[in-house]
Amino acid sequence: MGKGVLHRHTESVFLLALFLGALALRLLYLSEIRHSPFYDAPVVDAKVFLEQARQIAAGQFWGKPEPFWQPPLYIYFLAGLCWLFPTSYFTAIRLGQMLLGSGSCLLIYLIARRVLPTGPARLAGILAAAYSMFFYYEGELLAVSLEIFLDLLLLHRLQGALQGERSWDWALAGVLAGLAALTRPNILLFVGALWAWQAWRARQVVPVAWHRPLARRLAQFLVPLLLVVMPVSLRNYLVGGEWAFISTNGGVNFYLGNNPDYDRTVAIHPGRQWEDLVMAPVRAGQARAGEKSAYFYGKSFDYILAHPFDWLGLLLKKTYLFWSGPELKRNQDIYYGRQHSTLLSALLWDHLIAFPFGLLGPLGLLGLVLLWRRPEAGLLHLYVLAYSASVIFFFVAARYRMPVLPILLIFAAAALDELWTALRARDGGRLARLGLPLLALLVVLNLRSASNPEHDAQLYCDLGEISLRQGDYNRAIQHSLKALELEPDYDYARHNLATAYLYQNRYAEAIREGLRTIQDSPGRPDTRILLGQAYTALGQWAPATVHLHQALQIDSTSGMARYSYGRLLLKQGQPAQALPHLQAARQWQPRDFWVCYDLARAYQTNGQAGQALQTYLQALAIENRPEALNALGALYLEQGDLARAAQVQRRLETLGR
């Protein structure tokens, strides 16, 4: 066997072993997190992504009739998996993301192989396979795994384009850049930096007419990129009447990270403060999606221009936060995940060193400096600097710095290789020159500590919401009370507490907490509906009517408000007035037994026996419940249809057994 054949065989074996090893770790992690309360109950961004994906999978291919709020590619990725696996999509999505993550480990090795010797390149791939934050995010319903995979594919093709000068490499890189931008537009800053760098290099190498080959390569890259992105831009224009290149959440995200009260705004979680913030443009007369985004950009630039030195100080602070060891939460506390995974607990902690990034950051920065003069590493340097800048210019969170980590692992592998070489050679001077800066970075970048999940009000609020979905009302009360203990004005937690009391038929307590909620957040239609339901259960029609009227004034499209108000009218003996509301609720929730059952009761009370009969049968097709069987049997008896009434009676007896 020739050396070349042997090398290719060894390479193939390593790639297969790397992929299978990475996948095995991820499958172990997946088996552990199945017991997490968040596994099949996503919250905040993950919940929104999944809701939109399920709507698309159900046939609404173009999504809501408004410009995309968030980049759409990941949502369509989820939609495809929901469509293929309609009953097991929670597991299918995570398996798909873990396959992408395992593939990303191969790409990290292949990219590293072009700038490092085989040993350090393999080390980079192995470190990626075992890097805890990769499989943590692959287990979340967030775009991180898809973004990393596309960014790495882009870098790999760009390496080929820069070395081979084949036109199809540039075209394929353009397609990948477009797809990456549709996942997270941050990559566009790297794209701009790439072509500025290419122009500088071309001018250095060919002083005369340097722009002609550059313009050709730029066209080969840019045209495919635009062909990928422009359909989304056109769709945004057609549904919203205004141009939005990809999505419209850029303005508010920029404002969160560029204002005089950064620490407060970046920590805002779903609730009254967030709703007040996002409604600020509407109160200023800017109602369209693009106008809202421009409003927030304008506020940020007003602050930057008025206080440039304060803003520069803020940039320095965010730069430190980006490179510091602890994993900053965005919506969920990352360290909470350790409670549900032994593997994650072993590979993620914050004691002395915030492992793993508290070690990777210093090693990666050391390797970045060591490889600074290597031309073949220039693309990777540019990516790290440009992408990290794209995060720092907005705001810093662990999930947003994740796409930089694969390349930092390559630089970290280079640094470890240099340290090992110096150690084997017993080169004390070299060890000191490498070790002292590394030690300084380890100390400086690990000065901060991660937040404690025990002090995270949002975490307990989310756990309370999940317990509500699962019907565990005692636990929902426990978690909601803990959230309110940590943050007394947390309106979402108080609403969840009121809801749990309502489901336990503790109506007076539900009303008490509901009234406290709307005292702080009067514009919440869901709390108004809750109060209407609680007062209805107590037979207090007047306050029930007031709150349900207000809920419909706030949101006239609310199916739950329509149902609750229709049910109230039915209880008051006004079936004719109840019917339009219950019919609207049926359009909102066609597979809800109680909506269908109460609509049938309204038809029956209003003297529309035929409609009532048909609707009772439809309710029983949804769920075979005694309430509908009793009503149906009574209706057959009223009509003198004794045979059918007897059939219904037999069904009731069977159900009773």
Confidence at residue 657, expressed as pLDDT on a 0 to 100 scale? 59
Residue 163 CA to residue 358 CA, distance in Å, equals 34
Cα-Cα-Cα-Cα torsion 224, 229, 230, 236, nearest 10 degrees, comes to: 170
DSSP string, 609-642: HHHHHHHHHHHHHH---HHHHHHHHHHHHHTT-H
Contact 126, 149 (CB under 8 A): no
Cα-Cα-Cα-Cα torsion 197, 198, 200, 205, nearest 10 degrees, comes to: 140
Taking the model in full, what pTM does it have? Answer: 0.89
Please give the CATH superfamily to which domain 456-546 belongs: Tetratricopeptide repeat domain (1.25.40.10)
Residue 256 CA to residue 277 CA, distance in Å, equals 10
Confidence at residue 448, expressed as pLDDT on a 0 to 100 scale? 86
Confidence at residue 211, expressed as pLDDT on a 0 to 100 scale? 67
DSSP string, 285-322: T--SHHHHHHHHHHHHHHHHHH-HHHHHHHHHHHHHHH
**In Å, how far from its chain's centre is CA 544?**
37
Residue 157 CA to residue 126 CA, distance in Å, equals 22
Helix (H, G, I), strand (E, B) or coil at 593: helix
Contact 558, 546 (CB under 8 A): no
Confidence at residue 133, expressed as pLDDT on a 0 to 100 scale? 96
Confidence at residue 44, expressed as pLDDT on a 0 to 100 scale? 86
List Cβ neighbours of 554 (8 Å cut-off, separation of 6 or more): 523, 524, 525, 528
Residue with tokens 């990393």: 148
Contact 157, 172 (CB under 8 A): yes
Confidence at residue 206, expressed as pLDDT on a 0 to 100 scale? 59
Confidence at residue 205, expressed as pLDDT on a 0 to 100 scale? 64
Contact 577, 562 (CB under 8 A): no
In which residue ranges of the chain is pLDDT below 70?
1-7, 165, 204-211, 656-657
Q: What are phi and psi of 118, to 5 degrees?
A: -60, -45
Two structure tokens written together for 599: 């609509």
CA angle, corner 170, sides to 166 and 172, nearest 5? 110
Which of 114, 53, 66 has the alpha carbon at shortest distance from 380?
114
Residue 83 CA to residue 99 CA, distance in Å, equals 18
Two structure tokens written together for 577: 């007035």
Neighbours of 426 (CB within 10 A): 8
Beta-strand relationship, 353-355 and 349-351: antiparallel
**Start and end residues for every CATH 1.25.40.10 domain found in the chain:** 456-546
Q: At what angle do helices 525-537 and 559-571 cross, to 10 degrees?
A: 20
Query: Each residue of 518-539: pLDDT tens digit?
Result: 988 888 889 999 999 999 999 9
Confidence at residue 587, expressed as pLDDT on a 0 to 100 scale? 87
Confidence at residue 191, expressed as pLDDT on a 0 to 100 scale? 96
Two structure tokens written together for 558: 């609310």
